[in-house]
Structure formats: C-alpha cells, structure tokens
Amino acid sequence: MPGIVVDEAFILRVIGRLGGIRDEIPPLQGGRDADTPQKLDQLLIQIGTFVPAEDLGVTVTESGGGIWSRLDASRNRVHELVTGLSDFLAESETVESLNSFEATEIQHYLGAGSA
C-alpha cells in the first residue's frame, strides 16, 4: 500500500481547498442563489394569528439563526486551519534557511582558519 506523502505541495493544495470552503461560507449566510435573498440569521415569516403557523414561524426563525451561527463557527475554524498551515510552512522555510550554511560559514563557527 503506498504511503501518504505530506510535502509542501500537498499542504498548499489543502490550504487552497480550505480557503475555497472558507470563502464560500459568507455568501451562503447572505442568501446567495435564493429567489429572494435573505440572511439566515434574519429569517422572518409573517403568518398572522394562526397559532400553529406562528409556532412554525418561530421554529424557522430559530433554525435560521442556528444555521447561521454554525456556518460562522465553521468559517472561523477553517480560517484557523488555513492560518496554522500557512504559518507552519513559513516556519519550516525559516528553519530550512537557518540550516543551510556554506562551507565558509561552518569554518567560521568551528574556528577553522583563525589564528
């Protein structure tokens, strides 16, 4: 069975996919692609005084607010993952640059060639 290779290219693909998901959430919250755009946290049904319908209206309003909150929490979490992976790559590159000494630099630190 082939192993999974997690290299820079793989991490960059993951960052791209997660960034795409993160960027799709705000338009969903704003009601994009609906016949009548409506924000999920502002759903409102005007029904009148028919009690079962009033209960349905309350349920729909509460559900819209709950969905909006979960989408917002998901967007924040995905953003944290993208930021974490990006920082990881940046730190890895910094460490790699610190570990790439030329022979003359190594001689300097070892004291070779000094009086």
> Which is nearest to 22 in space by CA: 91, 83, 90?
83
- Domain ranges in the chain are 8-89
pLDDT in tens, 53-71: 667 777 777 787 788 888 8
How many Cα atoms are found within 13 Å in the side-chain-facing hemisphere of 38? 12
Q: What pTM was estimated for this model as a whole?
A: 0.61
**CA-to-CA distance for 18 and 78, rounded, in angstroms?**
6
Residue 16 has pLDDT above 80, yes or no: yes
Average pLDDT, integer, range 91-113 = 69
Q: Is the pLDDT score of 81 beyond 90?
A: yes
Q: Above 60 in pLDDT, residue 29?
A: yes
